[in-house]
Amino acid sequence: MELSLQEIGLTEGETKVYLALLGLGATKTGPLAAKAGVSSSKVYKILDRLEKKGLAGHALKGKTKYYSALETKRIIEYIETQERQLQVKKQHMQELLPQLEAERLLSGQKTEAVIYDGLKAIKGFFLNILDDLKAGETYYVLGAHYGEGKGTRAFFHNYHNQRAKKKIRVKMLANHETRDNLEPSTYKNASVRFLPQYLMTDMIIVVYKNKSFMFLLTKDPKGFLIQSKEAATSFKTYFDTLWKMGAN
């Protein structure tokens, strides 16, 4: 339960104090701090934050404050507030992006190589393809497979459905081992061949425009992006050579 509450934006301390409030009912700060396992000096700050988030409140009995958790449905209201604030931030950033991009271009700085660390970053690269390419344009994949990480198959199933909906083509050379194992959505608006077993590789290479992306789908995925027209042309030539050797 603690992990779930932290996933919606509560800190570890806020989570402990909130759960303690639920268990104690109306309480003074002393018993609350003891049950939550936080220091007395910190419990006031945490309670203040919980009150601002609409999850806790207090009442005065004489000169003493008694704190309690508000109705649990307030958690949903808190999440909805977070969502609205996130949408506002997203809108502001969308309005700011053209200015940021203009400043990047004026500076003359061009990213030539970037390291991608983790599956989330690699998924982000593929989602960028959907933004970078238009209907009818093609990108190329060499050595496609699902690797060792969890969630890659489900991601690529959904990804290829989005790609096909946008009418972006993929020309793919998949590893021999995936011949009977590719997600069906992969074949939508795609040309797929399979590398001979002796050419199978753990490295996956994606090429389009001036981008060449090499990555490994290990338990700790890593990727390396090169933004260079010359490099992309070289990788595309390599792909075309192997394409002739691939089997349908």
120 with 63, same domain? no
Q: Is residue 19 part of a domain?
A: yes
39 with 120, same domain? no
Mean pLDDT of 187-215: 91
Mean pLDDT of 118-147: 94
Q: Is 80 exceeded by the pLDDT of residue 110?
A: no
- Of 68, 71, 73, 55, nearest to 28 by C-alpha is 68
Q: Which residues of 180-219 are buried (b: 16+ CB within 10 A; e: fewer)?
A: eebbebbeebbebebbeeeeeeeebbbbbeebbbbbbbee
20 with 133, same domain? no
Length of the chain: 248
Confidence label for 109 from pLDDT (cuts 50, 70 and 90): low
Please give the backbone phi and psi of residue 8, each rounded to the nearest 5 degrees, phi first: -90, 5
CATH number for the domain spanning 49: value is 1.10.10.10
Q: Is residue 226 part of a domain?
A: yes
Mean pLDDT of 34-43: 92
32 with 130, same domain? no
Cβ count near 145 (within 10 Å): 19
* CA dihedral sign, ordered 201, 205, 126, 246: negative
Mean pLDDT of 190-205: 88
Q: Is residue 132 part of a domain?
A: yes
14 with 126, same domain? no
Whether 217 contacts 148, CB under 8 Å? yes
Domain count along the chain: 2
Q: Is residue 64 part of a domain?
A: yes
* CA 57 to the chain's CA centroid: 35
How buried is 140 (Cβ within 10 angstroms: 0-12 exposed, 13-18 middle, 19+ buried)? buried
Q: Residue 185's pLDDT is what?
A: 96
pLDDT digits (tens, 9 = 90+) for 164-176: 999 999 999 998 8
Cβ count near 123 (within 10 Å): 17
Q: Is residue 161 part of a domain?
A: yes
115 with 177, same domain? yes
177 with 238, same domain? yes
215 with 162, same domain? yes
Domain coverage including residue 157: 110-243
Q: Is residue 30 part of a domain?
A: yes
CATH number for the domain spanning 225: value is 3.30.870.10
pLDDT digits (tens, 9 = 90+) for 218-248: 888 999 999 888 899 999 999 999 998 887 7
Confidence label for 192 from pLDDT (cuts 50, 70 and 90): very high
172 with 224, same domain? yes
137 with 215, same domain? yes
121-125: list long-range contacts, CB under 8 Å, 24+ apart: 121/221, 121/223, 122/215, 122/217, 122/221, 122/223, 123/155, 123/159, 125/206, 125/213, 125/215, 125/223, 125/225
Ranges assigned E (strand) in 19-168: 56-61, 64-69, 113-117, 138-144
Q: Is 80 exceeded by the pLDDT of residue 118?
A: yes
Mean pLDDT of 122-146: 95
